[in-house]
Structure 1
Amino acid sequence: MDKVLNKSELEITARNWLEERGVTLKDIAELVYYLQAKYHDDLTLEECLYNVDRVLTKREVQNAILTGIQLDRLAEQKLLDQPLQEALEIDESLYGIDEIVAFSIVNVYGSIGFTNYGFIDKQKPGILKKLNDKTTGEVHTFLDDIVGAIAAAASSRLAHSNADDTLKTLD
């Protein structure tokens, strides 16, 4: 009988793989802060970190992390067939599957995530700049989009929770 991964094993692995690839939860929380600080006067990094943590509990997010990182690793090891190998090595702009994986994360918290993702993907602040450095020999074709998507989803979660709080005060 096939073994089914339980949620905690999948989540632990996804979190560990992010760390192994040089991405901390604080790095992602800083991206959330970058996206949301101008909309929330008293926003803290801790609040951003909390929302990142909540996003990482979603199975869809964990699966996207594992799939993307595995493909990046295989490309680094030159274990993919051509022309896929080259497309991932150079982060081919017309490849687009890396963004599709990111959209699966963004979609978890609604349409506001798409605009957050598009903005941060163009700006490439913080850890995203490091992940996009093509001179390191590392391949982060999927990881940069996944990290941006996690930040966008956490930003969306934060925006939704603040909107809910505002509506409660209006009642």
Structure 2
Amino acid sequence: MEFLNHDLEKTALSLLEKRGVTLDDIADLVYFLQSKYHDDLSMEECLHNVKRVLTKREIQNAIITGIELDILGEQNKLQEPLLSIIKRDEGLYGIDEIIALSIVNVYGSIGFTNYGYIDKMKPGILERLNDKSTGMVHTFLDDIVGAIAAAASSRLAHRAAHKNSDERKGDK
């Protein structure tokens, strides 16, 4: 049966929630990435940017695809050697990062830098998602969450730069 009249955004948000990721968790990552560059940055502003990123169909597709692959890995429903690669989150696999890069690419090159940094540091929710002792597979989800935060950070930075540019023009 075809999935008609679906709401892709609701499906993506529901999958994130079912996997234990809240929008506040992602907003915390945005704050981690941007607070030293914005003196008056609020969690509300971080959350607003996360929500705006999540309205993009490309991001919704990445979330659904990645989480479904993680779930199939947990259920042992992938063929070898892919099953073992995904369950181990093998470092040289890289397809999980490719999906993440498709997310950050939506908001320009600053997203790549933000993503690389947060992927290396693994703060907040990313540390929990990388805990292999839980039995859950988050090979794709950890990179997707980091990429959403990086994209929201990029969106925030671009908007701040635009606002500052407008303010400077008004001073002339």
TM-score range, shorter chain: over 0.9
Deviation at 1:170, TM superposition (A): 1.3
Q: How many residues align?
A: 168
Q: Establish whether residue 119 from structure 1 lines up as the match of residue 108 from structure 2.
A: no
Which secondary structure state, in structure 1, belongs to the residue aligned with residue 134 of structure 2? Answer: coil
**Which residue pairs with 2:101 in the alignment?**
103
Q: Distance in 1 between matches of 2:5 and 2:142?
A: 25
Cα distance 1:4–1:168, how it changes in 2: closer, same or farther (>3 A)? farther
Q: Deviations over 1:88-137 (max 9, x none)?
A: 00000000000000001000100000000000000000000000000000
Deviation at 1:3, TM superposition (A): 6.2
**Which residue pairs with 2:36 in the alignment?**
38
Q: Deviations over 1:145-168 (max 9, x none)?
A: 000000000000000000000010
* Structure 1 letter corresponding to 2:160: N
Cα distance 1:45–1:96, how it changes in 2: closer, same or farther (>3 A)? same
Please give the root-mean-square deviation of Cα atoms over the aligned residues, in Å. Answer: 1.0
Cα distance 1:152–1:86, how it changes in 2: closer, same or farther (>3 A)? same
Q: Establish whether residue 81 from structure 1 lines up as the match of residue 56 from structure 2.
A: no
Unaligned runs of 5+ in 2: none
Deviation at 1:5, TM superposition (A): 5.5
* Structure 2 letter corresponding to 1:13: T
Which secondary structure state, in structure 1, belongs to the residue aligned with residue 133 of structure 2? Answer: coil
Cα distance 1:37–1:86, how it changes in 2: closer, same or farther (>3 A)? same
Output the TM-score relative to the length of structure 2: 0.96
Q: Establish whether residue 169 from structure 1 lines up as the match of residue 167 from structure 2.
A: yes
Q: How does 1:1-171 map to 2 (within 5 A)?
A: 9-171=7-169
Q: Distance in 2 between matches of 1:4 and 1:160?
A: 36
Q: Distance in 2 between matches of 1:3 and 1:11?
A: 14
Unaligned runs of 5+ in 1: none
Q: Distance in 2 between matches of 1:105 and 1:11?
A: 15
Q: Distance in 2 between matches of 1:99 and 1:83?
A: 19
Q: What is the identity percentage for the equivalent residue pairs of Structure 1 and Structure 2?
A: 68
Deviation at 1:28, TM superposition (A): 0.1
Output the TM-score relative to the length of structure 1: 0.96
Deviation at 1:47, TM superposition (A): 0.3
